[in-house]
Structure 1
């Protein structure tokens, strides 16, 4: 049987927790999986063409652009923050200061959905992992970051932060409509595995999915 092909965006939690979780869940159902790192713009193109079976974790707002995208399992409700190197200003006014440079991964759909329009210069980089690499290398001082109950990463740089008020953002595992018959099966298996991992404090990683 051909492996199911899933895209993902490079984020520490996705790579450390969610990909292994999905690999285990689908294997328990008798499916092998393959994963490819893919930024949002390319993900949309490949998903529209039917080249992908799904994605590890994407914003639910993308269903407005992708009618064939089916929401499978809600991993987290997240918010956007501005993070700044200690010692420099980190407040709402910094977003509209044209002298400031703020970095964000190449996921422009987030800004489009939230209708974010700031006077600060917004520079895009490859993905979330590159942001942390550049921060530790001293190449950036301010960046946008998504975080929630699950998307808490102990390796996130120590920064000051400012919570940006936006509409709720939900992160879901998604499938292409062509794989819709798997939705109740994989949803139930993810529920079972996550409950099992949450009840095992001796596990390698503490997995804390969003709680209703």
Structure 2
């Protein structure tokens, strides 16, 4: 009987700390709206459900992908919708919620008509989405003579590739829905890492309460329903619900 009181007290304290963190700052949390990819749209839908269950109002606004990290790190945005953990290395004011939203596949598409047999390090040109941290870090390792072309979003990158204006396209958490017309295309998954929701450090007291809510949505089938709706696969590995620290990669 008495063993229940420490756990109950912990839950009450967690709730009060989360409420205090929200009350002492904005009344509403503000995030960048989802990109035009299934994984991002799924994340926005799931997080909307989680914050609603917690009684916390949220708003999603249009912000360039690269700019949102800067504004989130400054605290002008409440955090990031979904990012890989390595983003916190360059933006140290962000804290990851210990719940895997989805697995991020980094997919390379190469035009085999223009660049037959080319690999990631031997293509002449590659388009990628500006602000995608995982892509930008990978591209730094490429030879300096490879032409790197930035696109504002997935649709713009796809258009450049399908119009054969570049040899290759690098996408994160996105796959072309069909084979491009007019040329042979080869896809290779270069890397897979987990994505997490992130909050500015002033909302740190919310992290565990939000993770607990997300695990509840996992348990009651809400997450599975939304994954089916948006066509997003379950993460290959999910954290244990008692863990307080996210991990960058699963081995």
User: Does residue 233 of structure 2 align to residue 208 of structure 1?
Assistant: yes
More strand by share: 1
Q: 1:129 aligns with which of 136, 155, 160?
A: 155
Are the counterparts in 1 of residues 103 and 193 from structure 2 also a CA contact under 8 Å?
yes
What's the counterpart of residue 100 of structure 2?
74
Question: Taking structure 1 as the reference length, what is the TM-score of the superposition?
Answer: 0.78
1:153-200 C-alpha deviation (Å, 9 max, x unpaired): 5x6343421333x6x633111111111121112112222223414655
Are the counterparts in 2 of residues 9 and 127 from structure 1 also a CA contact under 8 Å?
no
Are the counterparts in 1 of residues 107 and 189 from structure 2 also a CA contact under 8 Å?
yes
Q: 1:180 aligns with which of 193, 199, 204?
A: 204
What's the counterpart of residue 142 of structure 1?
168
Name structure 1 gaps, 5 residues minimum. none
CA distance 1:136–1:208, shift in 2 (3 Å): same
Cα distance in 2, alignment partners of residues 110 and 58 from structure 1: 9
Cα distance in 1, alignment partners of residues 223 and 73 from structure 2: 35
Cα distance in 2, alignment partners of residues 127 and 202 from structure 1: 22
Question: Taking structure 2 as the reference length, what is the TM-score of the superposition?
Answer: 0.67
Cα distance in 1, alignment partners of residues 112 and 160 from structure 2: 15
User: Does residue 187 of structure 2 align to residue 161 of structure 1?
Assistant: yes
Cα distance in 2, alignment partners of residues 145 and 12 from structure 1: 10
Number of equivalent positions: 203
Are the counterparts in 2 of residues 6 and 34 from structure 1 also a CA contact under 8 Å?
yes
Are the counterparts in 2 of residues 194 and 209 from structure 1 also a CA contact under 8 Å?
no
1:71 Cα deviation (Å)? Answer: 0.7
Are the counterparts in 2 of residues 61 and 113 from structure 1 also a CA contact under 8 Å?
no
Cα distance in 2, alignment partners of residues 199 and 85 from structure 1: 35
What's the counterpart of residue 192 of structure 1?
216
What's the counterpart of residue 45 of structure 2?
20
SS in 2 for 1:95: coil
What's the counterpart of residue 142 of structure 2?
117
Instruction: Calculate the aligned-residue CA RMSD, in Å.
Output: 3.1
1:108-148 C-alpha deviation (Å, 9 max, x unpaired): 6435533422332110010223223444556555201224x
Cα distance in 1, alignment partners of residues 47 and 137 from structure 2: 27
SS in 2 for 1:74: coil
1:3 Cα deviation (Å)? Answer: 2.0
SS in 1 for 2:203: helix
CA distance 1:160–1:123, shift in 2 (3 Å): same
